[in-house]
Chains A and B, each alone.
Chain A
């Protein structure tokens, strides 16, 4: 076991450097947002005082209360239905005897790698014909479909990691499949489900292109969409107010991240490799 001090110092320096590089844009934007309103800030200026005016102007001017609410509604819709459907499906794939698992998986694999930019056009016209554009459904339904492949693979891997003895014991006792699923298996993988929730929340919250196409009504915009329009509106050409708006939009995910960062990281890192 060879822990050379020199190597430790090197490692620390590297991580410190990396952290500074990562944090710099955040701090830059934060300083910009906290700067004195009306003053055209440039470059390196450290704010002389802390002004929250930009945040207030951004909030009232950009309709962000609606935007955050809309994003929240979409997220709840997508996450809840996706996890429900994917849990059932993953259970079936892993524990039940399904004929044709491999071709079904191959079909799901398409969804994993598919660039959804290719299919948004068709989704738009479908939604338009159904009269669903400008509604939360136009964002919720497609994102459920898009989240299904990853969620099924994720949950299946989690089911797989449950010791076989547990479910077999239950089966011998003659429990029905639903009982096995809900009373025995799901409690075992609650951490994994939580992590999946966090990931889906993040991806759905940050979704932009779909909203850009489906939502034309200012009141129905999701947070990133509202931010993009806000940044482009002539009256708010002031970068400080735009910076404040950006922080408003990033805040929910940031707050969730601060509390759940282990889940975020482990989710994207370990789970992805499992496949």
Chain B
């Protein structure tokens, strides 16, 4: 009698247990299309699983992600952000779990070159970055490159620059011809980080920049080359290459302007590929920012890392969904919507723009020139660098002021 009872209850428990499992996902809104699609695919392949997705715009995401993960009922799977501001804090507070066992189970580490995953490696106390256990992973690569309006470039008699000085000349020619050289959404602050990343990359050795990002307390920020880069940025702002209104325009508006034909260049990330392609078609091209002596430089890294909450009651299910995101089918989906996958896709690029973007991306990987993002370096860096860069663009601070403020923040 007892055995039958146990058997029945076990069967009931198991069937109830696996029926109606809910997976809660929080993502930055840039991934809304792809995650929504992935969620339906996963639900279809795993009957009984319900996926609840929630998306936040970038500013709201940065402002509230830590609160949300610290909440009593956080999402099972959520985006973080590399660096001390978000990931480091999440790990220090014990809010996310390391993914090593899942990476081994699903073979994620085999997908990438040695050292490529450094930006996801942390010590368990969240104090050391760049080595340790795997906290977070992403199937998407994001690079910061230069998009340009092909018609405008041609009509100005310019071609894709191969040295930074040629890029500068292109800016001057554009301005003289009455065009807006660079479309920039400075009101939101963070888009300027990407511009800075490219100008910095043009002058500073990418290895030095990466070392500084991982260990800002002990690596020098105010090197002569970086001072040169900061001065260059300040000069570009003074020369009016960003237009006089850039600090009053938001990121989305600046991109909309660029799509509508205002602005010769747009220095931003490959996440915009799909939007630019659908808005400008063959009229938009892309190249990696050339360095002062040739070669390429760029910010960029993996996209936002996925974390599994330490309070999740369903970490295995979350990992399973993550595996789906890391899979080959999903990589091809990413290609179809114009993102750049971190692994090699099996399908061909779906637009001319994507061809150029992938070429730029490959160039950056080949030159080992990806320099991540400046705001990763310290917990307070995101606020500091956005504020200081706004001051440089607005002419309210000099290049030296910027360098000093950044060097001071590095010590935190």
Contacts and interface: CB of A to CB of B under 8 A. Distances in A.
- Answer whether A and B touch in the complex at a CB cut-off of 8 Å: yes
A229 B61 CA distance: 10
Contacts of A133: 71-72
B21 interface: no
Contact of A232 (B57, B71, B260): B57
B253 A134 contact: no
A77 to B, nearest CB: 21
B71 A229 contact: no
A213 interface: yes
Contact of B64 (A134, A216, A233, A234): A216
Interface in A209-230: 212-213, 216-218, 228-229
A40 interface: yes
B30 interface: yes
A228 B56 CA distance: 11
A47 interface: no
A131 B71 CA distance: 9
A252 interface: no
Interface in A227-261: 228-229, 232-235, 237
A85 B39 CA distance: 49
Interface secondary structure of B, over-half rule: helix
Contact of A235 (B32, B60, B67, B72): B32
B225 interface: no
Given A234-B29, A237-B253, A216 B67 contact: yes
A216 B68 contact: yes
B60 A233 contact: yes
B54 A232 contact: no
A128 interface: yes
A40 B59 contact: no
Contacts of B256: 40, 237
Contacts of B253: 237
A269 B29 CA distance: 45
B30 A134 contact: no
Nearest to A127: B72
B67 A233 contact: no
6 A-B pairs with the lowest CB-CB distances in the bound complex, closest first: A237-B252, A233-B57, A232-B57, A216-B68, A232-B60, A234-B29
Interface of A: 40, 128, 131, 133-134, 212-213, 216-218, 228-229, 232-235, 237
26 contacts: A40-B260, A128-B70, A128-B72, A134-B71, A134-B72, A134-B73, A213-B67, A217-B73, A218-B54, A228-B60, A229-B57, A229-B60, A232-B57, A232-B59, A232-B60, A233-B29, A233-B55, A233-B56, A233-B57, A233-B60, A234-B29, A234-B58, A234-B252, A235-B29, A235-B32, A237-B253
Given A232-B59, A237-B250, 11 more contacts: A128-B71, A128-B72, A133-B71, A133-B72, A134-B71, A213-B67, A216-B67, A234-B29, A234-B57, A235-B32, A237-B253
